[in-house]
Amino acid sequence: MLSKIRASIGNNTLLKIGSINAVSVILQILGGLITSKLIAIYLGERGMALLGYLRNFITSAQAAGNLGLSNGIVKYVATGDEKSHLLSKLLSTVVIVSLVATLIVSSVLYVGATYFNTQVFGERTQYIYVFKLLAIALPFITLNGILLAVINGQSAYKKVVNIQIFSNLLGLAIAVLSIVYYGVQGALFALVISPAVILVITLIALGKQGDVLRSILWSNFDTAALLKLGSYTLMALFSMIVLPLVYIAIRKEIGDGAGYWDAMTRISSYYVKFVATLMTLYILPQLAKASTDASFRKEIFGFYKTVLPLFGVGLVVIFLLRHFIIGLVFTEDFIPMTHLFKWQLLGDFFKVASIVIGYQIIATNNLKLFLITEIISLGVIYCSGIYLVRKFGYEGASMGHCFSYFIHLLVLLFIFRKPLFGKIIAASE
């Protein structure tokens, strides 16, 4: 029986990558659980809140620094540009633009550290040095993201997963030591410095592929390459600006019960991470290569037949173990969030089913279609979230999550109805 299962996994690339990726994701989840417990024990609720604020801020700073170009790198490397002089121009352009943008963001962070400290942590909390440290670390974080995108575009799945595994272990070690010995300040330090230190692991993992770094030259800067990637920047910036504002509005509408919703989304991030990283590792590069409706359909339904059912079974298990999970990750004070699980889990199922189709929009660099679907999606999230919160309290936020991704899935199925369900005419030889 076990031999048949191994053979089945070995013959299916998606499952094979998923099994390899599972090790990395499990380590991420275990690391998250360990650090969450340590934060609760050593730092308390206030420390947890401070880290949450800084984590969101770092995400925005990273997005502003790399300008959303990572997906563009994956697409053009995956489609074969790595075999030509175009890769040198592409990478040189991306690195130059990203580093210039990062240096601008870093300069603003360093000079305005006092202002950002007040906006993120409040006037009573003084962690100005954290923002100055982030300003110094940001260029290294950006370069690491670019190199990972190159490796991912080359479909070097094992190498990407190995980088993730060692990065998780290193990040966990830094976090544990920093929290135990230096408390809140150590935790903030670890959150900023860990992503930058990971660059060392990525450079080591590059190995012979490190030659790609020598092709990055100022003389290779190409405006045409920048224009090819410009739409990826607009996609990333749109999501980076609008989506947080929508969730902030919903969180303000919830009021006192927002903590339960935040806790639910934290649990959701743990299990969704597995599928999300799998899609980044495999689906996006494969869709970038898919030049026909038949190949697109094959990738989508291959995912639906293999990964999605397993994900669904996992969601059922999580629902049955919801009380145990709350006690493990949080405390008994969070028991009221149990009735959020059904809406969140069902919504996450719709989310994963829709995202895998939506990746085709990114893979094909279709800015117009991206903006249309995002505006519809964000509009539904906002309207349904606000309405349902007013009607059902904080539970309405999870209900809105479920409803919005159900609508998002229907919209994408309608848009891609022909390549997914229409008759495919074989290409003439």
pLDDT tens digits, residue range 261-272? 877 887 888 788
26 lies in a domain? no
pLDDT tens digits, residue range 212-229? 666 667 777 877 777 777
**What is the per-residue pLDDT for 288?**
66
9 lies in a domain? no
Q: Which of 190, 221, 252 is the last residue of a domain?
A: 221
**What is the per-residue pLDDT for 392?**
93
Q: Are residues 88 and 212 in the same domain?
A: yes
Q: Are residues 64 and 197 in the same domain?
A: yes
Q: Are residues 140 and 69 in the same domain?
A: yes
**What is the per-residue pLDDT for 48?**
67
Asked if 323 contacts 335 with a C-beta cutoff of 8 angstroms, the reply is yes
7 lies in a domain? no
Q: How many separate domains does the chain show? A: 2
Q: Are residues 301 and 321 in the same domain?
A: yes
Average pLDDT, the chain: 80
As a three-state string, the secondary structure of the chain is CHHHHHHHHHHCHHHHHHHHHHHHHHHHHHHHHHHHHHHHHHHHHHHHHHHHHHHHHHHHHHHHHHCCCHHHHHHHHHCCHHHCHHHHHHHHHHHHHHHHHHHHHHHHHHHCHHHHHHHHHCCCCCCHHHHHHHHHHHHHHHHHHHHHHHHHHCCCHHHHHHHHHHHHHHHHHHHHHHHHHHHHHHHHHHHHHHHHHHHHHHHHHHHHHHHHHHCCCHHHCCHHHHHHHHHHHHHHHHHHHHHHHHHHHHHHHHHHHHHHHHHHHHHHHHHHHHHHHHHHHHHHHHHHHCCCHHHHHHHHHHHHHHHHHHHHHHHHHHHHCHHHHHHHHCCHHHHHHHHHHHHHHHHHHHHHHHHHHHHHHHHCCCHHHHHHHHHHHHHHHHHHHHHHHHHHCCHHHHHHHHHHHHHHHHHHHHHCHHHHHCCCCCCCC
Q: Are residues 340 and 302 in the same domain?
A: yes
Look at 5-19, 160-174, 387-401 and tell me which has the smallest mean pLDDT: 5-19
8 lies in a domain? no
pLDDT tens digits, residue range 405-420? 999 999 999 999 988 8
Amino acid at residue number 295: S
Q: Which of 194, 221, 248 is the last residue of a domain?
A: 221
Q: Are residues 75 and 108 in the same domain?
A: yes
pLDDT tens digits, residue range 333-385? 778 889 999 999 999 999 999 988 888 887 777 888 988 998 999 999 999 99
Q: Are residues 215 and 311 in the same domain?
A: no
132, two tokens: 């100055």
**What is the per-residue pLDDT for 8?**
45
Q: Are residues 215 and 345 in the same domain?
A: no
3 lies in a domain? no
Q: Which of 221, 254, 283 is the last residue of a domain?
A: 221
154, two tokens: 């080359």
428 lies in a domain? no
Nearest partner of 340 among 393, 276, 390, 381, judged by Cα: 393
Nearest partner of 146 among 76, 238, 242, 55, judged by Cα: 76
State mean pLDDT over 101-105.
91
Q: Are residues 243 and 392 in the same domain?
A: yes
Q: Quick check: 9 pLDDT over 50?
A: no
Other beta carbons within 10 Å of 253: 18
Please tell me which residue, 116 or 251, carries the higher pLDDT value.
Answer: 116
d(Cα 47, Cα 282) in Å, to the nearest integer? Answer: 37
Other beta carbons within 10 Å of 229: 21
**What is the per-residue pLDDT for 428?**
44
Per-residue burial over 55-90, b = 16 or more CB atoms within 10 Å of its CB, e = otherwise: eebbeebbbbbbbbbbbbbbbbbbeebbeeebbbbb
Q: Are residues 301 and 247 in the same domain?
A: yes
Q: Are residues 236 and 134 in the same domain?
A: no
d(Cα 393, Cα 319) in Å, to the nearest integer? Answer: 21
User: Which residue segment(s) compose the domain that 304 sits in?
Assistant: 229-421
Nearest partner of 134 among 168, 110, 116, 104, judged by Cα: 110
4 lies in a domain? no
Q: Are residues 158 and 280 in the same domain?
A: no
333 lies in a domain? yes
